[in-house]
């Protein structure tokens, strides 16, 4: 939410959801038109309202990015020691989970 002040009541701030703002006009007072077509006349300039909206969106996006980073699990560590399979001569041993590689003939 962003904090704005009605034009006749500068000592009484109110909170407004920036997602409900459709337009901000200067006629000469600043008129904020909301999604329900209602209008609010505020004491801030259109530039101040736009800056408050920008700061709010940056906070929301930063919070979303932090939450996303917290969900990312670290990679598992894998033992990369060489694997050796012992089998009688002439037998083929395939270790599950490893990709097949070409033999000395390219097959």
CA 27 to each of CA 5, 14, 31, 46, 50: distance values in angstroms, whole numbers, following the listed order: 17, 21, 7, 10, 16
The structural domain count of the chain equals 1
Q: Please, are residues 7 and 29 in contact by the beta-carbon 8 Å criterion?
A: yes
Count of beta carbons in the 10 Å neighbourhood of residue 44? 19
In a domain, 101, yes or no: no
Average pLDDT over residues 62-73: 84
Supply the range of the domain harboring residue 14. 2-71
For the segment 3-39, what is each residue's pLDDT rounded down to a tens digit?
999 998 889 999 999 999 999 999 999 999 999 999 9
For residue 103, pLDDT beyond 90: no
In a domain, 44, yes or no: yes
Q: Rounded to whole angstroms, how far apart are CA atoms 25 and 28?
A: 8
Interacting residues of 94 by C-beta distance below 8 A, sequence separation 6+: 100
Predicted confidence at residue 104, as pLDDT, reads 55
In a domain, 91, yes or no: no
Q: Rounded to whole angstroms, how far apart are CA atoms 51 and 45?
A: 10
In a domain, 80, yes or no: no
């Amino acid at each position: 939410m962003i904090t704005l002040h009605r034009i006749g009541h500068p000592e009484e701030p109110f909170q407004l959801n920036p997602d409900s703002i459709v337009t901000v006009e200067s006629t000469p007072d600043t008129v904020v038109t909301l999604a329900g077509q209602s209008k609010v006349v505020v004491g801030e300039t259109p530039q101040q309202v736009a800056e408050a909206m920008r700061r709010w969106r940056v906070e929301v996006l930063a919070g979303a990015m932090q939450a996303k980073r917290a969900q990312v699990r670290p990679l598992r560590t894998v033992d990369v020691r060489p694997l050796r399979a012992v089998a009688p001569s002439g037998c083929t041993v395939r270790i599950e989970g490893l990709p097949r590689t070409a033999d000395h003939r390219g097959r």
